[in-house]
Amino acid sequence: MQSTIEKLKSLAEYTESIKLFVQLFEDAGIHVTDTNEQFSIHQKAGKVSFQTKLNQSNVDYIFETNSKQIDNVIKLASVPYIDEINRYKILKALFHAALTGGVNPFHCLKLVPRGSSLFKNSILRKLLRLQNSVHIYLKTPIKSEPEQIITLLFINGEWEVKQGKVGIAEITFQITIDDALEFHSEAFKAIKSNSTFQWFKFTRWYLKWRGKVYCPKTKIQ
């Protein structure tokens, strides 16, 4: 039976897919739950490498997955060109199962509140217009598929992610896959740097991004 590392290495020839995946991590641990494989994957300047043993101190987070999910992602990513529909399908294959199971799969959201007191201080949160409950409408590029709705709840200093519309949101965002990737990229730069300067840069960027994706409730159909 082919190992998961061997399967993932088969994507090396698909440069467009590699460009997408390196936006998601620098040092990530992988745990394939049904085969109990544990390893790490690392990227620097777009070059990807693997470590066959998982050392938790050398990774930013551990991604829980299964072999069916891996096979589905590899099938979707084994194409010479990645367009918006491909990106949507690949990311949905990666994260949808976790959302369905009530697990927050977005590690940048887990780490942002821990990275800076800016995101915990209630006064600063008001000044930065950070809300405790957010409805996110993810625009799908597939015309036959409805928008995906995700609820973010900031509880006890942590973001919880729920699939579907939960409660009454203080603010609503309408985003594309590329908007989501941009948020992840900017948040992760701040997390990795973990400097006050970088966090303020992220905050300034966030306010602009927020203005772009903010959606008045009257516009939600």
Return the closest-CA partner of residue 67 out of 118, 8, 124.
8
Q: Are residues 128 and 194 in the same domain?
A: yes
Q: Per residue in 41-57, pLDDT tens?
A: 999 888 899 999 999 88
Residue 91 is assigned to a structural domain of this protein: no
Quick one: 9 and 66 in the same domain? yes
- Looking at the fold, whether 141 and 186 belong to one and the same domain comes out as yes
Tell me: do 12 and 111 sit in the same domain.
no
Contact call for residues 155 and 144 (beta carbons, < 8 A): no
Q: Are residues 78 and 115 in the same domain?
A: no
9: in domain? yes
Same domain, 72 and 112: no
Q: What is the pLDDT of residue 125?
A: 56
In a domain, 159, yes or no: yes
* Structure tokens belonging to residue 75: 């099938």
Alpha helices in the chain (DSSP H): 4-9, 15-21, 67-77, 84-100, 107-115, 122-127, 177-193, 196-213
pLDDT tens-digit map of 53-77: 999 888 888 888 899 999 999 999 9
Total domains in the chain come to 2
What domain range is 166 assigned to? 107-219
Residue 189 placed within a domain: yes
The identity of residue 192, as a single letter, is K
Q: Which residue has the tokens 């203005």?
A: 211
Shared-domain flag, residues 149 and 192: yes
- Does residue 132 share a domain with residue 45? no
116/215 same-domain check: yes
Residue 209 within a domain: yes
Is 152 in the same domain as 196?
Answer: yes
Q: Answer with the one of 82, 98, 133 that is the final residue of a domain.
A: 82
Split at pLDDT 50, 70, 90, the class of 197 is confident
| 53/128 same-domain check | no
Mean pLDDT score across all residues of the chain: 82
- For residue range 72-130, list pLDDT tens digits in order: 999 999 999 999 899 989 888 887 655 555 545 555 555 555 545 555 555 455 555 66
In a domain, 89, yes or no: no
**Distance of alpha carbon 24 from its chain centroid, rounded?**
7
